[in-house]
Chain A
Amino acid sequence: MNRIDQKFIELRKVNRKAFIPFITAGDPDLAVTEDLVLALEKAGADIVELGVPFSDPMADGPVIQAASYRSLQQGTNLKKILDLVRRIRCHSQVPIALMSYYNPVFRFGEKDFVSEAVAAGVDGVIIPDLPAEEAVDLRREASARGLATIFFMAPTTPAARMKAVAAAATGFIYYVSVAGVTGARQAVAREIAARVRAVRKVTDKPVCVGFGVSTPQQAGEVARAADGVIVGSALVQLIHTHADQADLLECVSAFAASLARAVH
């Protein structure tokens, strides 16, 4: 069974929510990313989202745009990230989802991407500019190989469309907390509980909330309503500011642990 599905079964048994950190692979470099993934798992991450850098990250705010740019400057590409996952799998069984814009995956070849990702130990794929309608080929390949295809819902998604997205999604549903790009927000939308309830009316698949969650307090609030909480920009920023310091892993672990406690 896919590690993401396995994880949600375990968590639901003990009525616990998932803490899902996002980091950009290759920022500051892939060796550090490897250490960071292992540190995040120790700090309480239930699933790790690894960002594949792209030249034109149109769904991302300034923090992840900059991280993506730095990573590309390091020569990071999809193949090297799959090699990284293979190395991580020597030490860890933490579920890993890749978050990539569509073009790097399309260029790699969807069929090759799915088979190589699964072989490397990737459990799911999240593609912010690929709605389910355009993902027919990818879904076919992914479902044949047991790779989760995680799709988005947003406050602007109409009820009828929610059903179609829920039917296409495997692993979990990524609920975008606010209309906008990734990045920290002052406050998490107050209506988030009501919105997640609306999603639950159309599906019993896990619903995880991301975009704008940056503090343990916000993460705790969201965790009360959702099955999981995704925190990206706040972590990516912290990694960047400590990138060349000896206490990088320590700082990131401490922050991740505080988020994990709030979520759990």
Chain B
Amino acid sequence: MSFPDKNGHYGSFGGRFVPETLMALLMDLEQEFKKAQRDPAFRKEFAYYLREYAGRPTMLYPAQRLSRQLKTLKVYLKREDLLHTGAHKVNNTLGQILIARRMGKKRIIAETGAGQHGVATATVCALFGLTCVVYMGSEDIKRQALNVVRMRLLGATVVPVESGSKTLKDAMNEAIRDWVTHVKDTFYLIGTVAGPHPYPWMVREFQSVIGQEARRQFLAREKKLPDYLVACVGGGSNAMGLFHRFYNDKHVHMIGVEAAGHGLNTTAHAAALCKGQPGVLHGCKSSLLQDADGQVALAHSISAGLDYPGVGPEHAYYKETGRAAYVGVTDKEALDAASLLARTEGIIPALESAHAVAYLSKLAAKVKGKKSVIVCLSGRGDKDMGTIKDLLFS
């Protein structure tokens, strides 16, 4: 069985929960994406930009010192942090910008939290000479000032969002309002495997290159498949990108690591799967942090890229069916893991990716015998130096 179904559902999750004004456009987009997938010229063009511009394939690096330290795990790092712009986000923005061009859209809008997706969108807009407007919560603009400069340098307009909590979810509300208003000429370039159908599916397909490469690389080295896949989950695009091509390899365990913030038993976390309830936000039904009245709760994470109360619907489906397990890692554990990886391997991970690394110690304590694991190192840590400086060196 392959997901989503024709209405964009993954079991009881997914779908299209949007204002009527957008429905026809979403249906057009779905058709255009289907056509593109079947078009060898599109596949060739996408592969060209991934290779020549983004820097694929990325390495699958055996982290030997880290593995020795963890004893029971043989760890491979999928080095998405080495891509142009410093994170896996560019896989998706390149794919969507090519679709936008096929649809003749001249104006691109995006939402961003940490600024990584905003930068990846501004980058591809510059590459193709398209107008780029990025919505960003005014709180995030303060926290991620350098990424705002990067976006502006790339020619994007960054619009501060003052409504609600002034963070990622409000930026997404505002992007949707812009989209409804400029539906004819504007393409909404969503940064994760969430939003209305076909976005969760389309973004998954563009990010699946991660798992496709990792599977081939691991097989070539080890002549077998890995025992575990581990990736951080905010919206869930790097995790879905790694997981999806292993879906039918039933003995490969998938573990998504959510931001537990101050702890899963506090209210300050972003663990939509571990602690959420079914709900509808930003166009899809998924697992959602919310109160008893269905009002969306505020998320918290040290990592702005995980600071979102929802999650992609396919992850909710994987959790419900037991195909993947989801766990939480606190701010402090993630910070310690960033240090650990920096000092054992000379690799500074993004704080998002550090959540995945942090789970390895817990996994190492649980497994019997020696197990192999691929960790998606979704981004590099440069953008987090301000946070790290404040928390570790002042």
Contact = CB atoms under 8 A, between A and B. Distances in A.
B305 to A, nearest CB: 20
B257 to A, nearest CB: 26
Given A56-B169, A107-B277, 16 more contacts: A54-B295, A77-B293, A103-B279, A103-B280, A103-B290, A103-B296, A106-B294, A107-B293, A128-B19, A128-B20, A129-B17, A131-B20, A133-B15, A152-B19, A179-B21, A179-B182
A180 B23 contact: no
A87 interface: no
B351 interface: no
A19 interface: no
Interface residues of A, number: 41
A154 interface: yes
B89 interface: no
Given A56-B164, A103-B290, A107-B290, A154 B296 contact: no
A223 to B, nearest CB: 22
**8 tightest Cβ-Cβ pairs between the two chains A and B:** A107-B294, A152-B20, A104-B294, A180-B181, A154-B21, A77-B293, A103-B294, A55-B295
Contact of B280 (A61, A102, A179): A102
Interface stretch (B172-180, B261-269, B322-330, B342-350): B172-180
Contacts of B288: 103
A58 B183 contact: no
Interface of B: 7, 15-25, 163-164, 169-170, 173, 176-177, 180-184, 277-283, 285, 288, 290, 292-296
Interface stretch (A7-15, A31-39, A157-165, A228-236): A157-165
A128 B22 CA distance: 11
A176 interface: yes
B299 to A, nearest CB: 12
A138 interface: no
A181 B181 contact: yes
Contacts of A79: 293
Contacts of B19: 58-59, 128-129, 152, 154, 176
Interface in A53-69: 54-59, 61-62, 65, 69
Contact of B183 (A156, A158, A161): A156
A118 interface: no
Nearest to A106: B280
A56 B170 CA distance: 7
A153 interface: yes
A72 interface: yes
B20 A157 contact: yes
Nearest to B283: A129
Contacts of A154: 19-21
A126 to B, nearest CB: 11
A178 to B, nearest CB: 8
A156 B278 CA distance: 30
Contacts of B25: 156
Contact of A58 (B24, B173, B182, B277): B173
B293 A176 contact: no
A78 interface: yes
B23 A176 contact: no
Contacts of B16: 131, 133-134
B20 A151 contact: yes
Nearest to A180: B181
A257 to B, nearest CB: 31
A176 B21 contact: yes
24 contacts: A56-B173, A56-B281, A58-B19, A58-B177, A58-B282, A72-B295, A78-B293, A103-B279, A104-B294, A107-B279, A107-B293, A107-B294, A129-B19, A130-B17, A134-B16, A156-B21, A156-B22, A157-B23, A157-B24, A161-B24, A179-B180, A180-B180, A180-B181, A181-B180
B295 to A, nearest CB: 4
A153 B15 CA distance: 19
Contacts of B163: 62, 65
Interface in A102-138: 102-108, 128-131, 133-134
A131 B23 contact: yes
Contacts of A104: 293-295
A134 B17 contact: yes
Interface in A221-245: none
Contacts of B277: 107
Contacts of B184: 179
A129 B23 contact: no
Q: Could you say which of B7, B22, B294 has the most chain A C-beta atoms within 10 Å of its C-beta? A: B294
A58 B280 CA distance: 12
